[in-house]
Structure 1
């Protein structure tokens, strides 16, 4: 491909398509995430390749893969995106951050167990900040963060989440959430103070979807315990899961972030040994951490997390 002059420009929307392809791995998944057709994504990448004067994708079987030049572009893309966020943050700081609107994306148990206290504190101390909450999980949560649809992502570290070293985001550690064993009150192990997970290997399990944070954590905890759970019921809603456990339909792992679950026929017991945990963090786009409105929101979320640990 013919190299063009050093005065070339880059369309940021096309650059976003390249970043999303890197994350998703295929044109079809990239198109779905960006709400475009695969043909439109391909056209964006072709146009970006033409702008830069280098090939960005190459055929691999029935799909595509990124070229070495694309990897170089992506390294600079992260810096460009972070710098644009710093511009936005500096402008917000110039305006002293007296007013603002923030959308928080979070997984369901963070919405129920963490955000209410943070929103109440914001309503009392910063009524000038308008906050909206949407339920979302990785990887879509971070696609929406990249696109500017949300401003703060609250997530759990698991396979679908970006690496802690991902330069596209600035992370804030919130809490380490412990998971307890949920059993029917009539279960043979219900009277134990601590339950050996291995002794539940033959029980039916109630587990969330494999792509959900808790579903993934439960599977990995059971694997570490030396068994693959027989998943009888696939349930993502915690109240529904608790109702099934109470009815004797199976056992489950329940994070303390969603407790207490007030059901007389259900008991919660700590697992024997090192307790299974999940790490909860908040993330903003790299460069946006200087935004005074976002800083205020993150401070309240962090305080709510600290109070949750004290419960």
Structure 2
């Protein structure tokens, strides 16, 4: 009988690439990982690892085992989910990866709700960009990840991940109302009302997400569709920094409505609909075997409840 723990170590080596990376992730020493995999070779009777420079790589036989290991771990998670569902109390630890706008807008009310309903459920949260978060989900670093999909930039489907749509979130043009650019913004807005023409914003400085990520790519493509190359003075994924710079008259940006429509404070800026009123798609992802786990279901429902209770239409 093959040892499931050793099979998982082999799978982690396949995903993480080196014994040192597996050791760091699972709090083992590299030598302990190596010993466990040597024992797995003895159990299977085939060679699983071969030298590759200073490291090792999986043999064809090892990759066959990894494929079966994914299915085995999924069934084990399904068994755990069914077992937990048979109990009357939701407890344990749920590890969540999310990006900033959801962390700011939806996570606090969701945590409040969970604390009231399920006091024995511990939720641990880490801020992560969606792509690395989904990699961590598959590697079992996280149990739930929040994802986002921008128009024309579909989120890559990850095998073995169960995804549910959380919401469609409108993306807004955010313009300064103070500082040296305020008069130009006011003049443009007065002519166009809530529907500002992008071409009239060519002279504004911008704060945008980093260009290599989906949000930053989408923002730049949209502004270029207005016939100009945006003058990106500030590049940062920090939405609070973007709000601060806009409120103080130093830049314009494109912001998610989720950040603008939750809580009591409304940002001091002019908001305008973008052409076509584009939305990003917000999702929650879990490993397929854990979709029925009570803690996962409770967290997803808490997010949906927080969304219904917190979202208001921003003033244009």
State how far apart, in whole Å, the 1-side matches of 2:61 and 2:300 are: 37
* 1:270 Cα deviation from its structure 2 partner: 0.8
* 1:55–1:175 CA distance, 2 compared to 1 (3 A): same
1:82 Cα shift?
A: 1.5
Give the match for residue 117 of structure 1.
Answer: 109
In structure 2, C-alpha distance between the alignment counterparts of 1:168 and 1:123, rounded to whole Å: 30
Mark the CA change 1:183 to 1:48 in structure 2 (over 3 Å): closer, same or farther.
Answer: farther
Contact 1:56 1:69 (8 Å CA) reproduced? no
Mapped pair 1:190 → 2:185: no
Is structure 2 residue 191 aligned with structure 1 residue 199? no
1:133 pairs with one of 114, 125, 131 = 125
1:240/1:169 CA distance change after superposition, 3 Å: same
- What's the counterpart of residue 272 of structure 2? 269
**Aligned mates of 1:67, 1:197 — CA distance in 2:** 54
Q: Offset at 1:107?
A: 0.7
| 2:12 counterpart of 1:11 | no
Deviations 1:7-60 (A, max 9, x none): 666521121221345xxxxx6997799489xx98x969x96995774778997x
Counterpart of 1:221 in 2: which secondary structure?
Answer: helix
Rounded to whole Å, the distance in 2 between the matches of 1:47 and 1:224 is 57
3-state SS in 1 of match to 2:188: coil
Q: Judging changes above 3 Å, is the alpha-carbon distance between structure 1 residues 225 and 280 closer, same or farther for their aligned structure 2 residues?
A: farther
Residue 294 of structure 2 is matched in structure 1 by 292
Q: For the structure 1 residues 130 and 35, does the alpha-carbon distance in structure 2 shift closer, same or farther, using more than 3 Å as the test?
A: closer
Conservation of the 8 A alpha-carbon contact between 2:176 and 2:270: yes
Distance 2:62 2:231 in 1: 43
1:223 and 1:65, CA in 2 relative to 1: closer, same or farther beyond 3 A? farther
Structure number, greater radius of gyration? 2
- Counterpart of 2:134 (choices 134, 142, 161) is 142
Kept in 1: contact 2:13–2:19 (CA 8 A): no
Structure 2 unmatched ranges of 5 or more: none
The 8 Å contact of residues 98 and 130 in structure 2, kept in 1 or not, is answered as: no
Q: 1:210 and 1:84 mapped to 2: Cα distance?
A: 40
- 1:232 corresponding residue in structure 2: 233
CA contact (8 A) 2:205 2:252 kept: yes
Query: Residues 229, 83 of structure 1: CA spacing in aligned structure 2 closer, same or farther, 3 A cutoff?
Result: farther
Q: Which runs of 5+ in 1 are unaligned?
A: 1-6, 22-26
Q: What is the alpha-carbon distance in structure 2 between the residues aligned to residue 95 and residue 55 of structure 1?
A: 40
1:228, CA displacement in angstroms?
4.2
Q: Which residue of 2 aligns with 1:103?
A: 95
Q: CA RMSD in A?
A: 4.1
The 5-angstrom pairing of residues 1-311 of structure 1 reads 11-21=7-17, 34=25, 53=46, 75-157=67-149, 163-164=156-157, 166-185=158-177, 186=182, 187=185, 188-191=187-190, 192=192, 193-211=194-212, 214-223=215-224, 227-260=228-261, 262-264=266-268, 266-272=269-275, 274-308=276-310, 311=313
TM-score (norm 2): 0.74
Mapped partners of 2:278, 2:59: distance in 1 = 40
Residue by residue, what CA displacement relative to the aligned partner does 1:56-101 show, whole Å, maximum 9, x if unpaired? 8997xxx999887777555434323322211221232233344333
